């Protein structure tokens, strides 16, 4: 495909990302806004490498933020990297400091966050240079699908609606109820957030002091808000001059031990609170698979109950009759799972969804989720009897 150049006022980044993802593009994508520069290397619609001049988006900072590395360990790894000229991720793995699975997971997180952070840019420019082949990356082989990043961006729009309803701007100051705070480990994210609140920093000031991406910080603040431990302060928002002073502050301490499963669990709660039951259930299930706990099990159960109730109202209460929109012979060429093929084979234009689901060997929620997917894919049409 040909190269592309433009600005975000005419083509938002999220539209460009899904465009390149659907076309399985290979090449280099660069974006800039003011002094901020970011770049991603793409191969067949997958991000395989990314770089940024934003310190909070450095790979090492992501490892520190997620509690996988200390500042001292990072400094030592950098020294080794300078001598060996090997990618930082490989240095950390070969030296045994960070497990390979954790390095891969953090790289994937970095690729996603760098793009998602720029999805809301109203100004800026982009350049995509197409190529026949992607360069060899002499690091760990990590790929993140652009279409998946776009989908996650849509999920986050709902999450941001819930967040902004509580924290209207980055200039907001907060207050703390110490009695309602969860137990905190020394150096943990929560401990550092609480200290910065006591110091009078705004949310933007905390993000700079912690070197944390916006979503990472706001998601944790929202979780503390739900515990009634953090509230918006009655103090006036930070004036612009004070915000400039805060931006010049530096804090090189280590951000604590938040795990990726915790983040997914918090995101699931955000979606459920915002009424996005389908995505909330999917994220709750993912979090429970990553790290099963009593908390994740309880949230997954709540999400499944909400989603089941929603799908019942949508497809069963009004007696919806499914009809195939594709010829049965064409179904053989589609990539469908055995349960999907079973349900589609029961669609005859006479039985309603409830009748098919009740005699199905599948769990009711799974069957209804499949039917919802059939409608979205254009395989089935539902008609009220």
Q: How far apart are CA 276 and CA 161, in angstroms?
A: 11
Query: How confident is the prediction along the chain (385 residues), in pLDDT tens digits per residue?
Result: 678 999 998 899 999 999 999 999 999 999 999 989 999 999 999 999 888 888 888 888 888 877 788 888 888 888 887 777 777 888 888 888 889 888 888 888 899 999 999 998 999 999 999 998 877 665 668 899 999 999 888 888 888 888 988 998 899 999 999 899 888 777 777 888 999 999 999 999 898 888 888 888 898 899 899 889 999 987 655 554 444 444 333 333 332 333 356 667 777 787 787 777 887 888 888 778 777 888 888 999 999 999 999 999 988 888 889 999 888 777 777 777 788 888 888 898 899 999 998 888 888 998 999 898 888 778 889 998 7
Do the beta carbons of residue 272 and residue 302 sit within 8 Å? Answer: yes
Tokens of 286: 């993912």
| Sign of the torsion angle spanned by Cα atoms 45, 51, 52, 56 | positive
Task: Report the pLDDT value the prediction gives residue 242, as an integer from 0 to 100.
Answer: 42
**Which of 221, 218, 220, 223 minimizes the C-alpha distance to 175?**
221
Task: Report the pLDDT value the prediction gives residue 161, as an integer from 0 to 100.
Answer: 85
Instruction: Write 149-153 long-range contacts (CB < 8 A, 24+).
Output: 149/17, 149/21, 149/47, 149/111, 149/112, 149/115, 149/116, 150/14, 150/17, 150/18, 150/21, 152/112, 152/116, 153/14, 153/17, 153/115, 153/116, 153/119
- Residue 323 falls in which region: left (phi positive, over 0), alpha (psi -120 to 50) or beta: beta
Q: How far apart are CA 191 and CA 183, in angstroms?
A: 9
Task: Report the pLDDT value the prediction gives residue 254, as an integer from 0 to 100.
Answer: 31
């Amino acid at each position: 495909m040909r190269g592309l150049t433009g600005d975000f006022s005419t083509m938002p980044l999220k539209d460009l990302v899904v465009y390149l993802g659907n076309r399985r593009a290979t090449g280099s994508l660069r974006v800039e806004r003011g002094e901020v520069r970011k770049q991603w290397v793409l191969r067949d619609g997958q991000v395989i490498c990314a770089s940024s001049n934003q310190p909070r988006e450095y790979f090492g900072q992501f490892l520190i933020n997620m509690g996988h590395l200390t500042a001292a360990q990072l400094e030592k790894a950098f020294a080794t990297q300078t001598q060996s000229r090997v990618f930082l991720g490989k240095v950390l793995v070969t030296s045994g400091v960070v497990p390979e699975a954790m390095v891969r997971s953090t790289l994937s997180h970095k690729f996603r966050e760098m793009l998602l952070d720029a999805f809301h840019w109203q100004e800026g420019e982009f350049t995509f240079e197409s190529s026949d082949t992607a360069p060899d990356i002499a690091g760990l082989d990590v790929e993140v699908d652009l279409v998946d990043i776009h989908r996650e961006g849509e999920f986050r729009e709902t999450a941001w609606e819930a967040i902004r309803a509580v924290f209207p701007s980055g200039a907001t100051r907060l207050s703390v109820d110490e009695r309602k705070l969860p137990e905190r480990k020394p150096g943990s994210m929560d401990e550092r957030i609480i200290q910065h609140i006591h110091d009078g920093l705004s949310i933007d000031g905390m993000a700079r002091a912690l070197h944390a991406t916006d979503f990472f910080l706001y998601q944790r603040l929202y979780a503390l808000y739900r515990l009634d431990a953090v509230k918006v302060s009655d103090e006036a928002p930070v004036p612009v001059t004070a915000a400039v002073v805060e931006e010049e502050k530096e804090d090189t301490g280590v951000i604590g031990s938040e795990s990726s499963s915790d983040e997914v669990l918090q995101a699931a709660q955000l979606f459920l609170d915002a009424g996005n039951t389908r995505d909330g259930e999917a994220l709750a299930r993912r979090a429970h698979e990553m790290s099963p706990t009593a908390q994740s099990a309880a949230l997954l159960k709540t999400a499944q109950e909400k989603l089941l109730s929603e799908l019942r109202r949508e497809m069963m209460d009004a007696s919806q009759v499914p009809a195939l929109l594709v010829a049965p012979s064409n179904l053989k060429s589609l990539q469908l799972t055995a349960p999907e093929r079973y349900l589609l084979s029961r669609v005859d234009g006479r039985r309603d969804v409830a009748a098919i689901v009740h005699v199905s060997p599948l769990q009711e929620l799974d069957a209804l989720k499949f039917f919802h997917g059939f409608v979205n894919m254009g395989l089935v049409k539902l008609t009220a009897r």
